A and B are shown apart, each in its own frame.
Chain A
Amino acid sequence: MTRWGMAIDLRRCIGCQTCTIACKLDNGTPPNIYWRLVKDIEIGRYPNVKRIFLPLQCMHCAEPPCLAVCPTTATQKREDGIVYIDYSRCIGCGYCILACPYDARWLVKERRGFFNSELTKPEQLSPLNDKIGVCTKCDFCMDRIDEGLARGLNPGVDPEATPVCVGSCIAKALVFGDLDDPDSEVSRIVRERPAFRLLTEMGTEPSIYYVW
């Protein structure tokens, strides 16, 4: 079985937000909607304090709480572990946003452009243009993955078949691949480096690993 996942090297991330912008450009997300972003956080209490850049996105959990609460079955999980939203079914009730511990879901309330009320040409072409009143989130660029696989490419190795955030990272802090393949780079990193996942006490089994 394939289980897509990601390793994020926190020692490499410089907080430049290039992945944030690449995601926004590729997916056409409206203002104030961030399917992924890099948070600049400080944790601990003086003198035991750390400041880190923490990239956040949908964790594509093996046990997604958003899927369990979704009343319309708009949230689905594929066999390869990708959690996505069938936008034609979503009623925008927001229950999934409250169930997701990771702040990874965004309700698009209105059609808005970045500059003024009239949308620019690229904004008009956004695939999210008609997705108003529904919840949205990262889908690991599953269209790229599926098209890449259909062309015989290897997601995580070939950039065209890999989530756009990964390809955009200037520090190579993001590694994508098959967590079930012990020979994949992502599996090797998670195995060989100190790795952790976020909020595992929630029982979500995230597919995003952070290495330090």
Chain B
Amino acid sequence: MAVGRYMERQRVWEWLALGNFLLGGAGGGLYIVALPVQASGLNLLSQLSAALVVAGLLCVMAEAGRPSRAVGVVRNIKTSWMSREALFASGFILFTALDTLILPSMTLKTLAWASALGYVVCQSFMPAAAKKIPAWNTPATAPLFIALSIAAGAGITGLASPAANQLHMINTALAASVLAVGASYATWPGATEYFRQALKREGNVIYLAGGLLITALAAAPAMLFSNQTAGLLLITGTSVVKYTIIIRMSYKLPVLPPLEALR
């Protein structure tokens, strides 16, 4: 079926939503990586991480029609990934603030780390639940976004603390994960015609492949790139991939009756 003529992009979640996925995702990912590698200036990185998550939430609020009602966003923890994201984000900001500003403790750091992980996971499942967007509504979307956010966090860690423990090994593992999950996202066997169209149209496949390749370069041997360069590559590559999926590939599923039903 010639589906191309009915495909148009959604106009609901655009640049501000992308801001949440980029800033918030990288913020959560930063804490997830920075704590275990004992990055230098951990206190400052923790605060940067929380600031990025706050910036992501502000993007969401700026896009919402009634931001003054934002407190009600946690009412549907049972089924809504957005509610869960907001809950974990609140927990992360609270625990990080307590740990870095009032009472530094390993317990609070652990709680903040778990919240950051929960936040990144829930945020990554948000686009996957959008049934209207074939390029988001895939089984590989959430794993890909989790990998992208943590890789972006590792990128910031590399820029801020290049001598952190085993950072190169972590960068390599994350870059390889992004490449593997990204490839399975682009080639998943259950892809509908609409998903394939979204990938093919307007050079999207080039953007996606470009983002994945830039990310993969971070896995190059340490003698080729410093941790800081690798960090820059991770941030750039993962951002390109998120931009491609959230903005460029966000074509809506057309509402068409099955042709065979009309015979």
* Bound Cα distance from A123 to B227, whole angstroms: 61
Query: Quick check: A41 and B256 within 8 Å, CB to CB?
Result: yes
B130 and A98 within 8 A (CB): yes
The answer to whether B258 touches A196 (Cβ under 8 A) is yes
Is A48 an interface residue when CB atoms closer than 8 A count as contact? yes
Residues in chain B near residue A93, CB distance under 8 A: 60, 63-65, 73, 82
Are A43 and B1 in touch, CB under 8 angstroms?
yes
Contact A68 B129 (CB under 8 A): yes
- Assuming the A-B contacts A71-B83, A72-B75, A90-B66, are A65 and B129 also in contact, with contact meaning beta carbons closer than 8 angstroms in the complex? yes
Bound form: Cα–Cα A115–B227 in Å: 60
Q: Contacts A89-B69, A103-B255 given: A70-B63 contact, CB under 8 Å?
A: no
Distance between Cα atoms of A52 and B80 in the complex (Å): 36
Which partner residue on chain B sits nearest A59 by CB separation? B255
Query: A30 on the interface (CB 8 Å rule)?
Result: no
The reply to whether B262 and A50 form a contact with Cβ atoms under 8 Å apart is: yes
Task: Kindly provide the distance from the CB of B114 to the nearest chain A CB, expressed in whole angstroms.
Answer: 21
User: Which residues of chain A come closer than 8 Å to B133, judged between CB atoms?
Assistant: 98
* A72-B69, A91-B72, A98-B133 as given contacts; A210 in contact with B12, CB under 8 Å: no
A45 within 8 A of B: yes
- Bin the interface of chain A by size: 35 or more
Render B236-263 as a binary contact track against A, CB cut-off 8 A, 1 for contact: 0000000000000000110111110110
| Closest-CB distance, A43 to chain B (whole angstroms) | 5
Asked if B103 lies at the interface with its beta carbon under 8 angstroms from chain A, I say no
Q: How far is the CB of A129 from chain B (nearest CB, A)?
A: 15
What is the interface size of chain B, counting residues whose CB is below 8 A from a CB of the partner? 41
CA distance A24 to B14 in the complex (A): 28
**B-contact 0/1 string along A86-114, CB 8 Å cutoff:** 00011111110111111100011100000
CB-based contact B262/A103 at 8 Å: no
Which of B74, B80, B252 contacts A103 (CB under 8 A)? B252
Contact present for A95 and B72 (CB under 8 Å):
no
Contacts of A204 in B (CB 8 A): 131
**CB < 8 Å neighbour of B259 from A44, A69, A97, A133:** A44
- A68 near B80 with CB under 8 A, answer yes
Within 8 A of A (CB), among B27-85: 60, 63-67, 69-70, 72-76, 79-83
Interface residues of A in 33-50 (CB under 8 A from B): 39, 41, 43-45, 48, 50
Cα–Cα distance between A70 and B132 once the two chains are bound (Å)? 15
Contact status B75-A56, CB under 8 Å: no
A72–B1 CB distance below 8 A = no
B15 near A: Cβ within 8 Å? no
How many angstroms between the C-alpha atoms of A196 and B252 in the bound complex?
22
Residue of B nearest to A103 (CB): B255
Q: State which of A44, A68, A92, A98 has its C-beta within 8 Å of the C-beta of B10.
A: A98
> What chain A residues lie within 8 Å of B131 (beta carbons)?
65, 98-101, 202, 204
Given contacts A71-B82, A93-B63, A101-B255, 5 further A-B contacts (CB under 8 A): A54-B255, A69-B81, A89-B72, A91-B65, A133-B64
